[in-house]
Every structure is written in structure tokens, then in C-alpha cells.
Amino acid sequence: MGQQVFAYIIHKDGVADDTALELIAAAGKLDTDASVTAVIAGAGSELDSVCNEVASFFDEVWKIDNPALAYVTAEVLRPLLVRILPKHGIVLVPHDHFGMDLAPGLSIKINAAYLPDVVDFEGIDNGKLKAVREEYTGQVSTHVLSDISQGAVITVRPGSFKADERKSGDGLVIDKTAQAIESGLLVGAHRFLEIIEAQVGEVDITKSDILVSVGRGIEDQDNMEMIFELAEAMAGDVSCSRPIVDAKWLEKSRQVGTSGQTVKPKVYMALGISGAFQHVGGLKGSPFVIAINKNPRAPIFQVADVGIVGDILDFIPELTERINELKSA
Amino acid sequence: MEILVCVKRVPDPSENEIEVNKDGTDIEGDDLVYSVNEWDNYAVEEAIRIRDKVGGSVTVVSVGDEEAEEVVRREMAMGADKGILLSDDAFEGSDGKGIASILTAQVKKENYDLILTGALADDGAAQVGGMLAAMLDWPFASLVNFIEILDDKKIKVGREIAGGNQEMYEMDLPCVLSIQTGINEPRYVSIRGIRKVASLEIPVHTAGDLGISPESVGEAGANTKCLDYFVPELGDGARILEGSTDEIIDNLIELLKAKGGIK
Ligand SMILES: Cc1cc2nc3c(=O)[nH]c(=O)nc-3n(C[C@H](O)[C@H](O)[C@H](O)COP(=O)(O)OP(=O)(O)OC[C@H]3O[C@@H](n4cnc5c(N)ncnc54)[C@H](O)[C@@H]3O)c2cc1C
Ligand SMILES: Nc1ncnc2c1ncn2[C@@H]1O[C@H](COP(=O)(O)O)[C@@H](O)[C@H]1O
């Protein structure tokens, strides 16, 4: 292919994000011969420790070092990347809250193709890349064909490519700061103020062994009672998907997912939850997952161990009653 | 404040089981129930609240065929002041960049202070807002779950990031924000509200009106094309419990006991 491949590295507290290794795997699947350059922005010693860490598995590392990048924001970073990226380069970025902020605009500014939220690559033919994406929160997948011969920005779904442990060794760290910042930093129109930490709620679902988790399939706030009754019968806690929090039926601290909590229970009951990747992304430590959903094609059945196709509004009260009978017997 | 909100008509995910059609070229189109993209409802609600606080007007715009008019009208029933439909045969098959460039042409015709989009739509791309901002050279923030108007040049914005934490920014106007669900509780649209806007004229702008050359958008201008649709087979999938409700519950209770789900 002959196009240079770049991976944008997210990091925190001097440590590279898990997606760093996943992007190498993704780059390898994109083009097996590609030499992959990591691009890392940050400041001072924290940046240096990420660069050293990442150099042990990338061929080359480009760093942009400036105090204004101690907390990297997409708006400040984008024009810097535009200055250092070569024509026709291919840039891989994790499809998370940072990638969604950075990448669409970057593709416009470097006049490259844009492929969002890719879960797999199936080869390049004649400058055209075949990739796999999902639509309708994972209910269907699609093959897309994109002309990447003039360059591309591709966001890669976290967790879709298995982190590549192969260490290729001696990545050279190249300081690109001067080139990136040559005509100054653009901080004017967009000023970072602070991070407001998520509030701690009445229950800490990250510590629960049994989670009875409810999604939009519960349909009505009045039905929430049955979820609490089942959780009580099972001696578990109630968690939920995002729409339940958006509707203010439960507090944010009970939300499982990428923008909520990461949980590691032993048993996870997904009730009326479709299984969007942002939700399932909050499940760690391979719990035993039981999904109840009236749609046999719901993506949650792909990640569940046991599935029941049915109406939770009928099923839950019966299940609760039977568990309670069992316990009093 | 002049606010533009971009809205898309999509198959309603809570009303449909999305299936692939026989030859895998598209999703099954019969019996699909359409509605306004979930995220866009939050954006329109937020725009209405801002207008009610600081004055100005809210315009809703959609790129689509004549059926997209129904979602524009619905959002006007919510309380938007104006609606615009951007529609032309040449727009059909546009990719994200095509949609963003059509919207850019509309923005350049008027003076808007603030543009809101949804964070993402049915294709899950989350691309149009960021592209639109880049084409306009305006500042952008995605996944916005808080907006406070400071004065007619500055706003304070919160972005939702991992773990439910929030990144706070001050931004200059004009800017583009993509709105995350949960920023507010969108109001219901009453039958009366719909009746009130039923006869309002919704102007339609074509490629010609917008000064867009037809081959730069639509299928002709699209760099990314969908080849086919399919249902993925990931791993083994769940073991589906079958039988009568009683049998299923017996089965489930045994499994729960074994896995520590019942103590
Ligand atoms: C940046 C970003 C971050 C996000 N972060 C999160 C996150 O942290 N956590 C999260 O959960 N989501 C998150 N989301 C949202 C996510 O994409 C999905 O929209 C959400 O998870 C869907 O929730 P759900 O499954 O409850 O609802 P839906 O997708 O609407 O699914 C409802 C399901 O219930 C089934 N159902 C309906 N009625 C019944 C019934 N009576 N009986 C049985 N089944 C029934 C339906 O078949 C459907 O499968 C995020 C989105 C974005 C863009
Ligand atoms: N056809 C369209 N017309 C108007 N706005 C759109 C259209 N498609 C996408 N958008 C806007 O862009 C947002 C993100 O969509 P997407 O980038 O397709 O995920 C949506 O929530 C809308 O606000």
C-alpha cells in the first residue's frame, strides 16, 4: 500500500491506554506490511514515560510536547496534527469520547476519507479499503468500501481488535514539537476549564457480585418496582443502561457502560437491554450473563451465556415469585 | 441568539426489529416506523430552552426526501420557530461528508450563532457535527451534556467523557455542539401542538438554491459506500432456554444457583 499508518495514543497519568496495543493490531489487519508510527501529545515527564512505554512496541514514536497539552483537548490538538501528518497518511484513532471529538474534523482538515467506528478490516484493493461497521446499535453489520488512496482518518472501536502483545522493539522517539507548534497554539476559541468527577451514588455497583440490570425494555417508570423486587430476591443490586438514567428513573451511578461504571459481577442479568457496545463495554471480568429480550436478534444475545426470548414484564414477576418460594421453602 | 438544529429522520430503534433484506443490499424497508433521531430531540429541546431564556429563534433543518418533512414539523410542534428541508435528488446516497457540506451551504446563507446536532444517528457514525464545524472553521465540542449561555459571545459547555465524568469548557460563538442524551428531558408533543403547525409552509432548498454542484454530493460525491448488510455471527452466542415459562424458570434457577446468583 505504501501509505504511512499512524496510531493516535490516548494516555493518562503517564500510562498508555489499552487502545494503544489494539491500534497496532488494527494496523496489522489493515495492512500487514505497514510500519506504524505512534503519535502522542502531552507534556513533560508524563509524556516521556508514555513515549518510552509505547516505543517498545511501535516502529516509531512522534511526540508533541507542550505545557498547554498537559490536558490534551481535540480542538487544540487537531491543527497540530494537520501540520505534522504527511499527505495521504492513514490515521487510526480510538472511537471513544476523544476520538469522536477529534477525528471527523481532522478528516476534513487533511482532506482525507473518514471511516468511523470500524470493528474489522477486510483488505485493501486498488486503493479501496473494505471495512466492517455496525449500524442500528449493533443490530446489523455492513461492509463499507472507502477510497483511502488520498489518506484516511479511521476511528477504531475499542475492544474490537485483540491487543497485539508482539513487541517489535526499538521504536525511535522523534520530537515533532517544533513542526507542530511552528505558528503557535490555537487555544483562543475553546478554553478547557476543569473536570467535574462523576457523583458517587447510594450503591456502589462496581462492588456488586449480582447485578440485575434494566434497560429501555422496562417501558414505564411504574414497572421499575419489579426490578427491585427481583434484585432483592436474588440479594443483588439494581443497575441499568443509559436510557433509564436519561429518563431520570435511576441515578447516574447505577449506569453500566463506557460513560457509566465498569462493573465486574459474577452474575449479570440484562433485562430489556439491547446490548450496544457502549453498554457491554462496561462489563468486565467475564460474568455469567443472562439476557432476557423480546427481540431474538438483539445483540445482547451475542455476549450472553444464557438467553431467554420473551417479555420481561411477564417473566420477571414470575421469576421473583419462584425464587422467593424457593427461599421460604 | 439564532440557533440551528440539524435533525435526521431514522427508523425508530425502539419500535423496530431491524432486519436485513433478502439480497443483503439494505435493511428490510417494509413496516419500518420512522421518527426523529433520539439525540436530535435532546438538541431541539436544548435549543428551545436557550431561546426561551435569552431570546432569538430556533430553526430546524433536515437533509432528506419529502418524508423528512414530517420530522421537521414534529420538532416545530415541540417549539422550534422555523423549519427548512434540504432536498434534491442529487443529495441521495450522500455520505457523512456530503451531508455536512449540504448543511454548510445552508449555514453560509444565514447568520447563526449556535448550531446543535445530535451526537450520533442510526448509522452510529457520530461524524456530521464535527465535519460541519471543520468546514465552517468554527469551534466544536462533541457529547455535550451541559450548556450555559454566558453572554452573546461566550458559552460554558460540559462534555461527557468516560466514567460519567464531565469536561468543562468556555467556548466562543459561533460554534457547533453535538448533543448527548440526558442533557435535558425532551418535552412531549401534544396533538394540539402538531395541529398548530400542520399547515405551516416548510421551505425546501435544492442543490441549485444552495449553490451546490450535484456531483460533489450524493452517491456521486460519496467516498464511502455500503456494499451490503449482514447479521454478524460472533462466537457461539447465548444458549437460548426454551420450553414453557415454568420450564425456563426451573432451568434458569438451577443455573443461577450454580453460578452464585441465588444464595
Ligand atoms: C458516547 C456514548 C456513550 C454511551 N454510554 C453508554 C453507557 O455507558 N451505558 C449504556 O447503557 N449506554 C450508553 N450509550 C447508549 C447506547 O449506545 C445505547 O443507546 C443504550 O445502551 C441502549 O440502551 P437499552 O439497551 O436499554 O435500550 P434499547 O437499545 O432501546 O433496547 C431496548 C431493548 O429492550 C427490548 N425490549 C423492549 N421491550 C421489551 C420487553 N417488554 N421485554 C423484553 N425486552 C424488551 C428491545 O428488543 C431492545 O433490545 C452511549 C452512547 C454514546 C453515543
Ligand atoms: N440527513 C441529515 N439531516 C440533518 N442532520 C443530519 C443528517 N444526518 C445527520 N445529521 C446530524 O448529525 C448528527 C450525527 O449524525 P451521524 O454523524 O450520522 O451519526 C445527527 O444527530 C444530526 O443532528
Reduced 3-state DSSP string for B146-172: EEEECCCCEEEEEEECHHHCEEEEEEE
Cβ A279 under 6 angstroms from ligand 1: yes
Any residues with CB less than 8 A from the CB of B124 and at least 6 apart, and which?
A: A116, A117, A133, A134, A135, A136, A137
Q: How far is the CA of A215 from the centre of ligand 1 (A)?
A: 6
Mean pLDDT of the A94-119 span:
98
What mean pLDDT, rounded, does chain B reach? 94
pTM score of the predicted model: 0.96
Q: How far is the CA of A219 from the centre of ligand 1 (A)?
A: 12
Res. B16: pLDDT tops 90: no
- CB contact (8 A) between residue A101 and residue B128: no
Question: Exposure of B29 by Cβ count < 10 A (0-12 exposed, 13-18 middle, 19+ buried)?
Answer: exposed
What secondary structure letter does DSSP report for A261? Answer: B
What mean pLDDT, rounded, does chain A reach? 94
Q: Can you tell me the distance from the alpha carbon of B261 to that of B259, in angstroms, rounded to the nearest whole number?
A: 6
Top-ranked range on mean pLDDT: pick from A161-175, A183-197, A200-214, B229-243: A200-214
Identify which ligand lies nearest to the alpha carbon of B6: 2
Q: What pLDDT, on the 0 to 100 scale, is given for residue B223?
A: 94
Task: Give all strands of the β-sheet with A140-147 in edge-to-edge order.
Answer: A120-125, A128-135, A140-147, B224-230
Size of interface A-B (CB pairs under 8 A): 261
| More confidently predicted of B248 and B234 | B248
Percent of chain A with pLDDT over 90: 86
Cβ B99 under 6 angstroms from ligand 2: yes
Q: How far is the CA of B144 from the centre of ligand 2 (A)?
A: 15
Q: How far is the CA of B98 from the centre of ligand 2 (A)?
A: 11
Q: What dihedral angle (degrees, nearest 10) is formed by the CA atoms of A88, A119, B35, B115?
A: -40
Q: What dihedral angle (degrees, nearest 10) is formed by the CA atoms of B47, B120, A93, A53?
A: 80
Q: Can you tell me the distance from the alpha carbon of A104 to that of B140, in angstroms, rounded to the nearest whole number?
A: 11
Phi, psi at A159, each rounded to 5°: 90, -10
Single-letter residue type at A56: S
- For A244, the closest chain B residue by CA position comes to B182
Summarised one tens digit per residue, pLDDT across range A55-76 is 998 989 999 999 999 999 999 9
Mean pLDDT of the B91-100 span:
96
Phi, psi at A220, each rounded to 5°: -145, 145
Summarised one tens digit per residue, pLDDT across range A289-299 is 999 999 998 99
Res. A17: pLDDT tops 90: yes
Q: How far is the CA of A280 from the centre of ligand 1 (A)?
A: 10
| CA-based torsion, A260, B9, B124, A271: positive or negative | positive
What is the pairing mode between strands B9-11 and B175-179? Answer: unpaired
Q: Can you tell me the distance from the alpha carbon of A132 to that of A118, in angstroms, rounded to the nearest whole number?
A: 6
Summarised one tens digit per residue, pLDDT across range B236-254 is 789 999 999 999 999 999 9
To test ligand 2's pocket by mutation, which of B97, B99, B123, B179 has the most ligand atoms within 8 angstroms of CB?
B99
What is the grid cell recorded at A70?
498537559
Task: Give the number of the atom of ligand 2 that is nearest the alpha carbon of residue B179.
Answer: 21
Cβ pair B179, B117 in contact under 8 A: yes
Q: What pLDDT, on the 0 to 100 scale, is given for residue A168?
A: 67
Question: Exposure of A266 by Cβ count < 10 A (0-12 exposed, 13-18 middle, 19+ buried)?
Answer: middle
Res. A187: pLDDT tops 80: no
To test ligand 2's pocket by mutation, which of B84, B128, B204 has the most ligand atoms within 8 angstroms of CB?
B128
ipTM of the complex: 0.96
Residue B200 Cα, gap to closest chain A Cα (Å):
31
Res. B186: pLDDT tops 80: yes
Could you tell me if residue B93 is left (phi over 0), alpha (psi between -120 and 50 degrees) or otherwise beta? left
Chain B residues with CB under 8 Å of A260 CB are: 163-164
Summarised one tens digit per residue, pLDDT across range B189-219 is 988 888 999 999 999 999 999 999 999 999 9
| Sole residue written with cell 511526540 | A63
Res. B142: pLDDT tops 90: yes
- DSSP codes joined into one string, A23-56: HHHHHHHH-TT--EEEEEEE-HHHHHHHHHHHHT
What is the pairing mode between strands A128-135 and A120-125? Answer: antiparallel
Cβ B177 under 6 angstroms from ligand 2: no
Q: What pLDDT, on the 0 to 100 scale, is given for residue A199?
A: 86
Task: Give the number of the atom of ligand 1 that is nearest the alpha carbon of residue A260.
Answer: 8
Q: What pLDDT, on the 0 to 100 scale, is given for residue B235?
A: 63
Chain B residues with CB under 8 Å of A104 CB are: 96, 126-131, 134
Res. A183: pLDDT tops 80: no
Task: Give the number of the atom of ligand 1 that is nearest the alpha carbon of residue A295.
Answer: 47
DSSP-assigned beta bridge partners for residue A142:
A133, B229
CA distances from A67 to A9, A45, A185, B184 (A): 18, 11, 11, 35
- CB contact (8 A) between residue A143 and residue B227: yes
Closest to B120 (Cα-Cα) out of A272, A136, A252? A136
With cut-offs at 50, 70 and 90, classify the pLDDT of residue A328. confident
Cβ B116 under 6 angstroms from ligand 2: no
Mean pLDDT of the A181-185 span:
82
Structural domains of chain A, ranges and CATH numbers in brackets: 5-180 (3.40.50.620), 205-328 (3.40.50.1220)
Chain B residues with CB under 8 Å of A286 CB are: none
Cβ A101 under 6 angstroms from ligand 1: no
Mean pLDDT of the B138-160 span:
97
What is the grid cell recorded at A255?
449506569
CATH number for B2-221: choose from 3.40.309.10, 3.40.50.620, 3.30.70.330, 2.102.10.10.
Answer: 3.40.50.620
Chain A residues with CB under 8 Å of B128 CB are: 104
Q: What pLDDT, on the 0 to 100 scale, is given for residue A217?
A: 96
Q: Can you tell me the distance from the alpha carbon of B18 to that of B28, in angstroms, rounded to the nearest whole number?
A: 7
Q: Can you tell me the distance from the alpha carbon of B150 to that of B155, in angstroms, rounded to the nearest whole number?
A: 5
Q: How far is the CA of A58 from the centre of ligand 2 (A)?
A: 36
Task: Give the number of the atom of ligand 1 that is nearest the alpha carbon of residue A244.
Answer: 26
Task: Give the number of the atom of ligand 1 that is nearest the alpha carbon of residue A257.
Answer: 8
Summarised one tens digit per residue, pLDDT across range A109-156 is 999 999 999 999 999 999 999 999 999 888 899 999 999 999 999 999
Mean pLDDT of the A188-212 span:
92
Summarised one tens digit per residue, pLDDT across range B30-81 is 788 999 999 999 999 999 999 999 999 999 999 999 999 999 999 999 999 9
